[in-house]
Amino acid sequence: MIGFKKISLRIRIFLSMILLVLLASILILVVTIYQYDEQTKDYNIQRFERKEATTKQTIYLELKNKTIYPVNTENLGKIFQERIYEISSINKLNISIYDLKGNLLKSSISSALEKIDIQPIPGNLLRELKQNSNHKILKTREEDGIGYQSSFSFIHDSKYKRIGILELQFTQDNSEIEKELTEFILRLCLVYILMFFIAIVFAYFLSSYITRSIKAISDKIQQTRLTERNEKIILNKASSEIEILVEAYNNMIDELGESAAKLAKSEREQAWREMAKQVAHEIKNPLTPMRLTVQSFERTFNSSDDKAKDKLKEFSQTLIQQIDVMSSIASAFSDFAKMPIQKKEQIEIISVIKFALDIFSEEYIKYHPEEEELYANLDKTQLIRVITNLVKNAIQATENQENPIVEVKVSSEEKNLIISVSDNGKGISEDLKELIFEPKFTTKTSGMGLGLAMIKNIIEAYDGSISFSSEEGIGTVFKVVLTKA
CATH number at residue 314: 1.10.287
301 and 369 share one domain: no
199 assigned to some structural domain: no
The answer on pLDDT for 449 being more than 90 is: no
pLDDT score at 232: 67
Instruction: Band the pLDDT of 108: cuts 50, 70, 90.
Output: confident
β-pairing, 475-483 with 465-471? Answer: antiparallel
191 assigned to some structural domain: no
386 and 291 share one domain: no
Helix, strand, coil shares of the chain, percent, nearest 5, are: 55, 20, 25
16 and 133 share one domain: yes
Domain endpoint, select from 337, 354, 373? 337
147 assigned to some structural domain: yes
The answer on pLDDT for 290 being more than 70 is: no
244 and 381 share one domain: no
Instruction: Band the pLDDT of 34: cuts 50, 70, 90.
Output: confident
pLDDT score at 441: 44
Q: How far is CA 79 from CA 60, 66, 69, 74, 97, in A?
A: 11, 9, 7, 10, 11
The answer on pLDDT for 309 being more than 60 is: yes
pLDDT score at 400: 82
CATH number at residue 44: 3.30.450.20
104 and 176 share one domain: yes
By residue range, what is the domain housing residue 140?
Answer: 2-180
327 and 358 share one domain: no
The answer on pLDDT for 12 being more than 70 is: yes
Contact (CB, 8 A) for 220 and 231: yes
The answer on pLDDT for 402 being more than 80 is: yes
224 assigned to some structural domain: no
- Model confidence over 174-186: pLDDT tens digits? 667 777 778 888 8
Average the pLDDT over each of 56-60, 244-248, 394-398 and give the range with the smallest value: 244-248
Contact (CB, 8 A) for 450 and 336: yes
Contact (CB, 8 A) for 422 and 476: yes
Highest mean pLDDT among 260-269, 309-318, 349-358: 349-358
The answer on pLDDT for 253 being more than 70 is: yes
- In sequence order, what are the beta bridge partners of 168? 95, 151
389 and 300 share one domain: no
Average the pLDDT over each of 48-57, 152-161, 275-284, 428-437 and give the range with the smallest value: 275-284
- In sequence order, what are the beta bridge partners of 169? 94, 150
pLDDT score at 422: 93
Contact (CB, 8 A) for 185 and 29: yes
235 assigned to some structural domain: no
Contact (CB, 8 A) for 481 and 418: yes
pLDDT score at 323: 75
192 assigned to some structural domain: no
356 and 317 share one domain: no
Q: How far is CA 230 from CA 137, 246, 256, 262, 461, in A?
A: 85, 14, 9, 16, 23
The answer on pLDDT for 385 being more than 80 is: yes
Question: Average model confidence (pLDDT) for the chain?
Answer: 77
pLDDT (average), residues 95-106? 88
The answer on pLDDT for 112 being more than 50 is: no
CATH number at residue 449: 3.30.565.10
364 and 473 share one domain: yes
The answer on pLDDT for 21 being more than 90 is: no
Per the model's pLDDT, the better-predicted residue between 387 and 11 turns out to be 387
Cα–Cα distance measured from residue 23 to residue 199, given in angstroms and rounded to the nearest whole number: 12
273 and 139 share one domain: no
369 assigned to some structural domain: yes
Specify the number of domains making up the chain: 3
The answer on pLDDT for 113 being more than 50 is: no
Instruction: Band the pLDDT of 233: cuts 50, 70, 90.
Output: low
First to last CA, the chain: 55
Domain endpoint, select from 139, 163, 180? 180
327 and 359 share one domain: no
Instruction: Band the pLDDT of 420: cuts 50, 70, 90.
Output: very high
7 and 151 share one domain: yes
Domain endpoint, select from 136, 157, 180? 180
Phi, psi of 459 (to 5 degrees): -65, -45
210 assigned to some structural domain: no
pLDDT score at 67: 74
pLDDT score at 457: 82
Which run of H or E residues covers position 148? strand 146-156
Cα–Cα distance measured from residue 41 to residue 138, given in angstroms and rounded to the nearest whole number: 13
pLDDT score at 115: 53
pLDDT score at 448: 36
pLDDT (average), residues 397-423? 90
